[in-house]
Structure 1
Amino acid sequence: MLWACILLPQLAMDGVQRHRASPDEPLVLLTGSPQRRVLQAVNPAARALGLKPGQSLTAAQALTRGFATAEYDLAAIERWQQFLAAWAYGFSAQVSLHYPRCLLLEVQSSLGLFGPWPRFEARLRAELSALAFQHRIAVAPNPAAARVLVNIGDGLMASDERMLKQMLDPLPVDRLGLSATLTTAFNRMGLRQLRQLLALPRDSLAKRFPGEVLRHLDTLSGQRPLALDFFVPANVFDTRIELNFEVESHQALLFPLRRLTADLAAYLACRDSGVQRFTLHLEHRAGADTQIQVGLLSAERDPGMLFELTRGRLEHQQLPAPVLAVRLEARELPTFAPQHQQLFDERPQQNQPWEQLRERLRARLGDEALHGLGARADHRPEHAWLNEPANPLLPPGGPRPGWLLSEPQPLREASLRILSGPERIESGWWDGEDVRRDYYVVQTRAGQRGWAYRPVGSDGPLLLHGWFA
């Protein structure tokens, strides 16, 4: 087996920055009591100003005032770990959050689907970067060794036990994941590398040190399996973004909205699901939330499409009060069946598939503004069509024109050519609009194809009832 460990070194900071429109702005995360606020994490822009973790907020403000602050939220870190575990679930059925700020996933069984490891790794990195999370990745035959390797370097890979031993042997003892007390004891004895520990008799180690030392060494070498609890994705997507200030315009809500719909799309992809209905909550300081219901005619998960549809609904909503937070909730996640596509896309680049165009029109114009044509069980042409809400066309039996005239018009062209017919239609006796007609497909001198009829028993001219495309 091969295990990948994805270390998220700045998870708390990334979780805050990805919701901000200007990620290059100096930002610090605060912890501690109200009387003594301490900088828990700083981004590179804040570090360039001389700020560093462990400083008090008072000392930081004495240096500079040009930085923003946010709370270091442990609950938010847990939510982001769950979100990223759900994302990783789309690549492997065995995903674990055994180590803090890390994702463990078994990748050997996924190589046949995602390609060799370099290609697989590039895809993982591209998607993590698109989600705005810093990361480091290492691979080893067991998860404990992968965790140790990712702590000493990015991109390391031990594909077998022999290569793993070569990489682990020279490691300093203080990089093995042992407690600080044990590390200090080994260093005082002159044992500074893993190979020196492994060279000692196991009996001596067992007598002089706690049992966790041998257990940890056996786990690193793969002789003792690491017990893992595997992640199972939730059946509900519910994510909230708290805004930095009160927002009164739709335009200022587009950035958090784009982030929410992108997260929803990533979550749906990991579950191999789509979404057909979800709710956007706009939270205000007082009063009930403004709820915007977004419904689609079929399950979708394209991030651009979800954003455009939600944006269209949002722009039709009048904001009753400034918005303090935005929340997206999706509880119905049906199975997603992707559309079959041609090997070569013959559509012009600026065109859209019909499904996306249909949903965009519904979002912009409203649910009742878009209609489709349906067929009714009636042979009379003027009664055989009906409007249906954006459903695909159900063609009636036999050739029928796509354009029916509101009133039939006489055809007096001398060179009219009859292509087929007659087709007799006798119907409508039950509603007082009885018709008895013989229909013909005709062609004019200009090459137009029409649908014309003559009442049964009449010798008059043909009456044009519709044109074929």
Structure 2
Amino acid sequence: MLWAYLYFYQITLDTHQESGLSPVDSAHLEIPSSPVIVYCEKTNHIVQRNHAALQQGIEIGHGLAQAAALCPHVCIIPFNVDNEHLTLTQLAHRLYPLASDIVLDTHNTLAVRLDNLVHYYGGHKALWSTLTHELSQSNVHYHFATAWSIEAAKVLALKGIDRYYDNHDDIRQSLSHCPLSLTALNKKTKEALTRVGIHRVHQLLAMPVHELGRRFDNNTITYLTALRGEVFPRVKLFRPAEHFEHFALLPFDVENTQHLIPFMEKLLEYLAHYLRARNLQTSTLSFHIAFRDQPSNHLEIKSALPQSTSDSWLSLLKLRIENLVLPEPAVSLTLRCDNFEAIDDNNGDFFSNRFNDVAQKQLIGRLNAKLGEKCTFKPSISNTHQFEYMSNGPRLTKETVFSSDIVPTFLFEAPKPLTQSTQVCFGPVRLHSEWWHDAPHKRDYFIAQTRQGVRMLIFKDEASKWWAQGLFS
């Protein structure tokens, strides 16, 4: 076997700095390039810091008071294990289309099995280039290493080897230089080994198996044999969820929706990548805007036409949040999508009657995003062929409506005399009223167009007089 182990040593900091802003946007928002640290309240230690904080003398392991003394204006981000695990899961989602055997080890580490992929990629170099290219798109820092087991690769990655080894001799030589403190042995076992003069991993690997069996319990023996590559403990492989969810911690408190758009656009790009990799599209997505004290704001966006690109969703998003007022500054965003549709390639003639249908659905989606779904409705007609008894309005039930190409969008309450010049485009269609009406009539209906381009439904009655019945939009 061959496993790669990835250690994302500043994943919270990377998420904070991954704002998705261009240099122009950053200058416009006046985001300062200040020292940033990630502080763990439980241990009272600095666990992550950026380069600006390092220049101020702040090191990992310092306390909060020491960091504040070195840099009074340092930006402090609270450490949250759940947020890191969520970000790690999102990275696993990006890698899954490229490598199916992924193990989420801790909140900031994962392992990828490589030996079963080398044949498909045509070599180790092409395989590793593909994986690292995908990670580079996420703008995360990490240490990595490869070895015959997850346990051995983890030791090398924690040491920061950053080497791709596919030869057992190279792996064994690199392990020999690693200190015992990097192993996953418990504290009591490490102290016992230190007392007998074992300080390096190569000393531990050189111990005979019967000596290990006499000195340690079964769990320790299992770990040590896995570290040697003699056994391979069973692991739980990552499987992607059926829905898409991406979380983004905002690098500063955002007070208005216009400044939220760049961060939302970044999340839409992640969604577009997810859809493109799976040949999917969606017509509904939702944003959750979180605040410090107020309840989260749920923002649902619907499109009349299923979309799969970030640009198409971004235009609807801008219309949707144009009039939205935040109750207080936002601190984080979450994009979630549950309903997907497969992109069907068997669409027949791509150009046949496609433009009008797509343009109509795009217009409906933009109107819903701008005005709200309660402010728009699709006109429908009642179940009769007599225009006087038809009614345009919201659709109530499927049984009370029907569709017809000759029915106009807007009907007059009563026919009006036709007083302007028109040109007939379609017709005639002869309609007789029902026998039970008081005034039965016979009419020849036409679709006509005025000089201004307005299309009307007109008819000629039995007395050869012309009337207008409605307008087409």
Q: Specify the TM-score bucket, using the shorter chain as the normaliser.
A: 0.5 to 0.7
Q: Identity of aligned pairs, percent?
A: 20
Aligned counterpart in structure 2 of residue 26 of structure 1, from 22, 35, 38: 35
Shift of 1:201: 5.4
What is residue 350 of structure 1 aligned with on the other side?
A: none
**What SS is found at the alignment partner of 1:175?**
coil
Preserved CA contact (<8 Å) 2:301 2:369: no
Shift of 1:137: 5.2
Q: Any residues of structure 2 matched to 1:234-253 within 5 Å, and which?
A: 237=245, 239=247, 241=249, 244-245=252-253, 247-253=254-260
Aligned counterpart in structure 1 of residue 343 of structure 2, from 338, 341, 358: 338
Aligned length: 439
What is residue 312 of structure 1 aligned with on the other side?
A: 319
Task: Report Cα offsets for 1:199-253 as digits up to 9, x if no partner.
Answer: x7544565577777764464356541222123455678585747745x5433344
**What SS is found at the alignment partner of 1:171?**
helix
Q: Any residues of structure 2 matched to 1:67-466 within 5 Å, and which?
A: 67-89=74-96, 91=98, 94-99=101-106, 101-106=108-113, 124-136=131-143, 142-148=149-155, 150-151=157-158, 152-154=160-162, 156=164, 158=166, 163=167, 165-175=168-178, 178=183, 179=185, 181=190, 193=202, 197=205, 202-203=209-210, 215-216=222-223, 218-220=225-227, 222-231=229-238, 237=245, 239=247, 241=249, 244-245=252-253, 247-258=254-265, 274=282, 276=284, 278=286, 280-283=288-291, 285=293, 289=295, 291-297=297-303, 302-306=309-313, 308-319=315-326, 321-323=327-329, 325-326=331-332, 328=334, 330=336, 333-338=338-343, 340=345, 354=359, 358-372=364-378, 374=380, 377-380=383-386, 386=392, 396=403, 400=406, 407=416, 409=418, 422-427=428-433, 435-439=441-445, 453-455=459-461, 457-458=462-463, 460=464
Preserved CA contact (<8 Å) 2:165 2:171: no
Between the aligned partners of 1:66 and 1:211, the Cα distance in structure 2 is 51
Shift of 1:42: 1.3
Between the aligned partners of 2:149 and 2:389, the Cα distance in structure 1 is 70
Task: Report Cα offsets for 1:381-427 as digits up to 9, x if no partner.
Answer: 677784668xxxx9955x648788965637989xx9x9986532223
Task: Report Cα offsets for 1:28-47 as digits up to 9, x if no partner.
Answer: 122457xx954332111211
Normalised by the size of structure 1, how large is the TM-score? Answer: 0.67
Between the aligned partners of 2:448 and 2:281, the Cα distance in structure 1 is 50
When structure 1 is superposed on structure 2, of 291-300 and 235-244 the one drifting more is 235-244
Between the aligned partners of 2:430 and 2:122, the Cα distance in structure 1 is 62
What is residue 9 of structure 1 aligned with on the other side?
A: 9
- Quick one: which amino acid aligns to residue 167 of structure 1? D
Preserved CA contact (<8 Å) 2:8 2:143: yes
* Distance 1:263-1:441 versus aligned 2 partners, 3 A rule: closer
Preserved CA contact (<8 Å) 1:173 1:183: no
Preserved CA contact (<8 Å) 1:86 1:270: no
Between the aligned partners of 2:295 and 2:200, the Cα distance in structure 1 is 62
Shift of 1:322: 2.7
- Quick one: which amino acid aligns to residue 338 of structure 2? L
Please give the root-mean-square deviation of Cα atoms over the aligned residues, in Å.
Answer: 5.5
- Quick one: which amino acid aligns to residue 286 of structure 2? F
**What SS is found at the alignment partner of 1:278?**
strand
- Quick one: which amino acid aligns to residue 43 of structure 1? N
* Distance 1:403-1:308 versus aligned 2 partners, 3 A rule: closer
Between the aligned partners of 1:432 and 1:112, the Cα distance in structure 2 is 83
Preserved CA contact (<8 Å) 1:88 1:270: no
Shift of 1:315: 2.9
Q: Return 5+ residue gaps in structure 1 as ranges.
A: 347-352
Q: Return 5+ residue gaps in structure 2 as ranges.
A: 21-25, 352-357, 396-400
Between the aligned partners of 1:257 and 1:441, the Cα distance in structure 2 is 46
